[in-house]
Amino acid sequence: MAELTPPASSHSALRRIAASYGKWLVIGLPLLWLFVFFLVPLLEMAQVSFTEARRGIPPFKPLWGFDEDGFFTNFNFENYGLIIEYADDYIGPAINSVRIAFFATLICLLFAYPMAYWIARTDERTRLILLILVLLPFWTSSLLRMYALIGLLNPNGFVNAVLMWLGIIENPIKLMQTEFSVYMGMLLTYLPLMILPLYATLTRLDQTLNEAAADLGANSFTIFTTITLPLSLPGIIAGCLLVFIPAVGEFVIPALLGGPDQLMLGKVLWTEFFRNRDWPVASAIALILMIIVTGPIIYMRHVDRLGDETSEEGA
C-alpha cells in the first residue's frame, strides 16, 4: 500500500509561512514577555507613586476612575514631597546603597579579572571544569550561602576559631554586622556575574597581538596594560553593570550580614511596603532608585554614541 505524502505545494506553503512569520515570532514572544512582566508592573508602580495610601486592599487609592459624581482622579505629588521633607531618612540609605554597591563592584572586579583571565588561557577541558566551578554557587540557594557565611564570620565561627588557634588574636573579633561582612556577601553572590562577561571577552581576544608585542620587546606588564586591558573593557563594563545594578537594591545581604550603619534602600523599601503599608511612598522611592541607576547608564550610552559619530565623521 503506497504511503500518503503531502503534496510539494503544501511544503512550500509551510516554508513561506515560516519565513514570513518566524522572524516576528522570535522577536514578538520576548517583547510580549517584557511587556507583560516588566513594562506593565513598571507603569503600575509609577501610577501608584502619584496616588494616596489608604487602609484596605489594595492599600492605595485608584489614580483615576468613575463614580456617581463622574470622573475623579487622585493624582498628586505628595509622596515625592514627603521624600523631600523627610530627606534625612532616605538620603543616608541612598548614599549607603550607591557606596556599598560601588565598592562591592570594585572588589568583584579585582577578584574576577585574574580568575577570568586564567580560565580564558587554559585548555578546553580544564576551562569547562573551571566554568562549572564558577557556576556551582548558582545551583544552591543564595539564602543558604548567606547562612553559611554567617557560620564562618560569627564570633564563634570558623574564621575566629582559626585565628585564635594560630595565635593571631586572643579574643574573637567582630566580623558580623560590619561592612566587611556585607562585602563578603556581595562577593559570594555576584562574583560569577562578573567572571562570565569578562571570560567571554577575554577568550575572544586575538593572541597574535600579544605575540607581536612580545616580539617587539614589550614585557608582560606593558602587553597587559596596552593590549589586553583596553580590549577587555566591554567585558569590564558589562560585568560592572551586572553587579552594580542588583547590588544597589540589595535587601537580603545587608539585612542578614549588615548592621544599622549598613542600612540600604532595599531595607527602606521593605519597611515602607510591608511594615508601614505605604505603597505610594515605597513606589516613589523605587522609581527614584531606578532613575538613579539607569540615569548614568543612559548618559554613558549617549556619550558612547556621540563618540562613535565623531569618529565616523573624522574618518
Q: How far is CA 55 from CA 61, 117, 136, 279, in A?
A: 9, 55, 45, 11
**21: pLDDT strictly greater than 90:** no
Q: What is the mean pLDDT of residues 167-173?
A: 88
40-304 has CATH 3.40.50.10860 classification: no
Mean pLDDT, the chain, whole residue set: 85
Helix (H) or strand (E) holding 67: strand 64-67
Tens-place pLDDT, residues 39-83: 999 999 999 999 988 887 888 888 888 877 788 788 888 888 888
10's CB contacts (< 8 A; 6+ apart) are none
**164: pLDDT strictly greater than 70:** yes
Residue 1 binned pLDDT confidence (cut-offs 50, 70, 90): very low
Residue 114 binned pLDDT confidence (cut-offs 50, 70, 90): very high
**126: pLDDT strictly greater than 50:** yes
Tens-place pLDDT, residues 127-145: 889 999 988 888 888 888 8
Residue 13 binned pLDDT confidence (cut-offs 50, 70, 90): low
For cell 588557634, name the residue. Answer: 165
From the CB of residue 283, how many other CB atoms can be counted at a distance below 10 Å? 23
Q: 267, 247, 245, 265: which is closest to 256 by C-alpha?
A: 267
Q: What is the mean pLDDT of residues 298-314?
A: 67
**6: pLDDT strictly greater than 90:** no
Three-state SS annotation for 109-149: HHHHHHHHHHHHHCCHHHHHHHHHHHHHHHHCCHHHHHHHH
Helix (H) or strand (E) holding 73: strand 70-73
Q: 273, 286, 208: which is closest to 43 by C-alpha?
A: 286
Tens-place pLDDT, residues 248-282: 988 889 989 988 888 888 888 888 888 888 899 99
For the chain, percent of residues with pLDDT exceeding 90:
25
Task: Tell me which DSSP letter residue 36 carries.
Answer: I
Per-residue confidence (pLDDT) for residue 139, from 0 to 100: 84
For the chain, how many residues are written?
315
Grid coordinates representing 28 are 514578538
Tens-place pLDDT, residues 179-237: 999 999 999 999 999 999 999 999 988 888 888 888 888 888 888 889 889 999 989 98
Per-residue confidence (pLDDT) for residue 236, from 0 to 100: 92
Give the gyration radius of the chain's Cα atoms: 27
Q: How far is CA 5 from CA 9, 125, 208, 266, in A?
A: 11, 46, 55, 62
For cell 556599598, name the residue. Answer: 100
Per-residue confidence (pLDDT) for residue 104, from 0 to 100: 95
